[in-house]
Structure 1
Amino acid sequence: MADPDPRRRLPRMGYVTSLFARKIVAAAGDGIDASEMLSSVGIDPESAWDSGQMIPAERYYDMLERMAAQIDVTDLPMRTGASMRLDEYGALGLALKAATTLGASYARIERYARLWTSVVEYELREAKGGTLFILNRAGDRRLGMRLSNEATLASAVSIARQVSPEPVLPEIVLVLNAAPQSLAAHENWFGCPVRFGADLDAILYANETLDRSNVLGDEGISRYLISHLDVELSRISNAPDLVSRSKDAIAQALSEGTPKIAEIARGLGFSARSFQRRLSEHGMSYHALTEETRRELAEGLLRDERHSLAEIAFLTGSSEQSAFTRAFKRWMGTTPASYRKDRLLP
């Protein structure tokens, strides 16, 4: 039986570091409106770059798809990977540099990926011919996700080339996506065969490549940085649960108007100050979380014809339908009626 309360159907959202969005927008060049793209995912274009600021993965994919509608994105993931710099990853970047071998650097990516994404898990797996560095990302393989995956694979090779004193060439790169019309950009960047339509997204390295010593490998510095990263990882271990519970609480309260932070914090067992601090530790603010919840709830309700626009306005915390329409246009760039018309199945 369908859940009669649409507020219970809020999607569980994953997050990625804003660094990814900034990098891929910068790599796109003048063919897009960079400020508009960044603003669409909640990044202030004038603010300092902060890898700790997280953005919703789905909105990141939306942004990539809008870019794909404006420019040729065939080689964009490669250009993005080439632009990645370990210094931009803070303590994590230093830990990757300080690892004693390339394999140890990849093991740290596998372990600490949660520091910059909640939607990707990495895995090192022995395979014929060497070791696979595997990118696991669940969900519908929409265009935005596919572009993100390719950029992630390209970035992983960029990282390897920055820590190794010798040229790093994978044995083969595997990509789940169907192949683009031209593979030249991919094969030029990776320096090896790239096989699309594979069973997984991965990079195969010869074991002797992973066993190479890193140019800045230092065991003492590594121990210090690892202890710091372990603390950071423990701080975010409950972030998805906190965000999920916060969204549920906000969604349930919206029919009475936009809830105050103290009200939601009290229901979750926090003071307003400690709740805001917990959110800020993960690059979030209460206002942004509330707006995101309202937007997600509105999108879900608009896909269901049983709910009128007036009812959706009420359920998403708007005082009247005109206020809801203005808010929705700010979030999505279109009216609720147009959004519903475009997405309802015939």
Structure 2
Amino acid sequence: MGYVTSLFARKMVAAAGADVDAAAVLASVGLDAEGPWDPKAMLPADSYYDMLERIAAQTDVTDLPVRVGASMRLDEYGALGLAFKAATTLGSSYARVERYGRLWTSVVEYELRPDPRGTLFILHRSGERRLGLRLSNEATLASAVSIARQVSPVPVTPLELLVRHPAPKSTASHAGYFGCPIRFGAQLDAILFSRKTLAQPNILGDEGISRYLISHLDAELSEIAEEAPLVARAKDAIAQTLSEGAPRMADIARGLGLSARSFHRRLSEHGMSFQTLAEDTRRDLAEGLLRDESYSLSEIAFLTGFSEQSSFTRAFKRWVGTTPASYRKERSSR
């Protein structure tokens, strides 16, 4: 499923206020309420969504993501926040998020896309549109505008906000915060900015500082990439065993020439668990096989480790938000 920074979880709980038991809610995702706010401490995305839904069961969360997004501060994002601030224009700031956003989440990919009206800053996040994911997306969109307003010498107002999921019961706080038309039920999760807005010079833009910070971010990114060969080899090994049933960590580790303990440690150092790796492998393999019309759905279910096609269908819908048949049909029509 992937991971998100624990900073988001702590911000959500803080914004929920006295209506929730902060210590208990944070403990449910393995965080100490009295512990440090470390953006490099990561949480499984599903656990984060579970936490948000737990909060929603205790209090009204209609405007919670907007309040959380508005509260985000660049200084809390580490080197990437500083690099956003030091970029010479707002467009350059967002380009840094597009490139280095992996440093704070592995479940969202950011994209800047030209549009006839300006430029779209897009959030790509797969998965079932469950409540926790929807709240997280709204908070991410709000935080993207918040950090822009912190670096610009003039007010930043988007041309339009696009949100894939249906509107909440009230959108008054959204309209008041973003200050632009909001289209729920859209095809994308995105913010549309005018070209003039993105060309606006930042208050503290500095080329020299930017070059230094970019080199630091590249080094952090390379640290993530260093584990790619191990992860790729592990995923290959898992894929080869899926038709025989659920893979065992000890068997995969042995095939990679590692002890189970060493394998677990190397994965956990980079915010990853064997369970997540196995699940991601299953999903990636399923998506690849669905693009090949020569495999039937029952064959794909078997090759991805499911004893029944119905179990595969339920799992796939949880992963990507649609059934295998619908996914195949959509891909073949492109």
Q: Scaled by the length of structure 2, what TM-score is found?
A: 0.74
SS of the equivalent of 2:35 reads coil
Question: Who is 1:120 aligned against?
Answer: 108
Q: CA 1:233–1:207 in 2, change beyond 3 Å: closer, same or farther? A: same
Question: Who is 1:195 aligned against?
Answer: 183
Counterpart AA for 1:134: I
Question: Who is 1:323 aligned against?
Answer: none
Question: Who is 1:97 aligned against?
Answer: 85
Give the CA deviation at 1:184.
Answer: 0.8
Residue 140 (str. 1) matches residue 128 (str. 2): yes
Are the equivalent residues in 2 in contact too, given 1:124–1:134 (CA < 8 A)?
yes
Are the equivalent residues in 2 in contact too, given 1:121–1:137 (CA < 8 A)?
yes
Residue 29 (str. 1) matches residue 17 (str. 2): yes
Residue 151 (str. 1) matches residue 135 (str. 2): no
Give the CA deviation at 1:224.
Answer: 0.9
Partners in 1 of 2:198 and 2:54 — Cα distance? 37
Counterpart AA for 2:51: M
SS of the equivalent of 2:111 reads strand
Q: CA 1:253–1:198 in 2, change beyond 3 Å: closer, same or farther? A: closer
Q: CA 1:211–1:64 in 2, change beyond 3 Å: closer, same or farther? A: same
Partners in 2 of 1:226 and 1:72 — Cα distance? 40
Counterpart AA for 2:27: S
TM-superposition CA deviations, 1:248-296 (whole Å, max 9, x none): 69x7447xxxx6xxx9766534578975764464246xxxx479899x9
Are the equivalent residues in 1 in contact too, given 2:264–2:274 (CA < 8 A)?
no
SS of the equivalent of 1:29 reads helix
Count of aligned residue pairs for this structure pair: 275
2:204 paired residue among 198, 209, 216 = 216
SS of the equivalent of 1:125 reads strand
Partners in 2 of 1:234 and 1:40 — Cα distance? 32
Partners in 1 of 2:212 and 2:260 — Cα distance? 34
Aligned-residue RMSD, C-alpha: 3.0
Q: CA 1:274–1:56 in 2, change beyond 3 Å: closer, same or farther? A: same
Q: CA 1:148–1:277 in 2, change beyond 3 Å: closer, same or farther? A: same
* Structure 1: stretches of 5+ with no match in the other structure: 1-12, 297-303, 307-346
1:81 paired residue among 69, 84, 93 = 69
Question: Who is 1:245 aligned against?
Answer: 234
TM-superposition CA deviations, 1:9-31 (whole Å, max 9, x none): xxxx2111111111111111111
Question: Who is 1:282 aligned against?
Answer: 270
Partners in 2 of 1:61 and 1:14 — Cα distance? 12
TM-superposition CA deviations, 1:27-57 (whole Å, max 9, x none): 1111111111112122222221111111110
Partners in 2 of 1:15 and 1:241 — Cα distance? 18
Counterpart AA for 2:215: S
Partners in 2 of 1:141 and 1:132 — Cα distance? 21
SS of the equivalent of 1:22 reads helix
Matches of residues 267-306 of structure 1 in structure 2 within 5 Å? 267-270=255-258, 278-279=266-267, 281-283=269-271, 289=273
Are the equivalent residues in 2 in contact too, given 1:100–1:218 (CA < 8 A)?
yes
Are the equivalent residues in 1 in contact too, given 2:113–2:122 (CA < 8 A)?
yes
Q: Scaled by the length of structure 1, what TM-score is found?
A: 0.71
Question: Who is 2:192 aligned against?
Answer: 204
Are the equivalent residues in 2 in contact too, given 1:239–1:282 (CA < 8 A)?
no
Give the CA deviation at 1:82.
Answer: 1.1
Give the CA deviation at 1:194.
Answer: 1.3
TM-superposition CA deviations, 1:105-129 (whole Å, max 9, x none): 0000011111111111111111122
Counterpart AA for 2:123: L
Residues 144-153 or 126-135, more deviating: 126-135
Are the equivalent residues in 2 in contact too, given 1:52–1:283 (CA < 8 A)?
no
Residue 111 (str. 1) matches residue 90 (str. 2): no
Question: Who is 2:287 aligned against?
Answer: none
Question: Who is 1:180 aligned against?
Answer: 168
Identity %: 68
Partners in 2 of 1:179 and 1:220 — Cα distance? 43
SS of the equivalent of 1:118 reads coil
Partners in 1 of 2:77 and 2:3 — Cα distance? 16
SS of the equivalent of 2:51 reads helix
Counterpart AA for 1:91: A
2:53 paired residue among 60, 65, 83 = 65
Question: Who is 1:169 aligned against?
Answer: 157
SS of the equivalent of 1:90 reads helix
Question: Who is 2:5 aligned against?
Answer: 17
Partners in 2 of 1:153 and 1:38 — Cα distance? 23
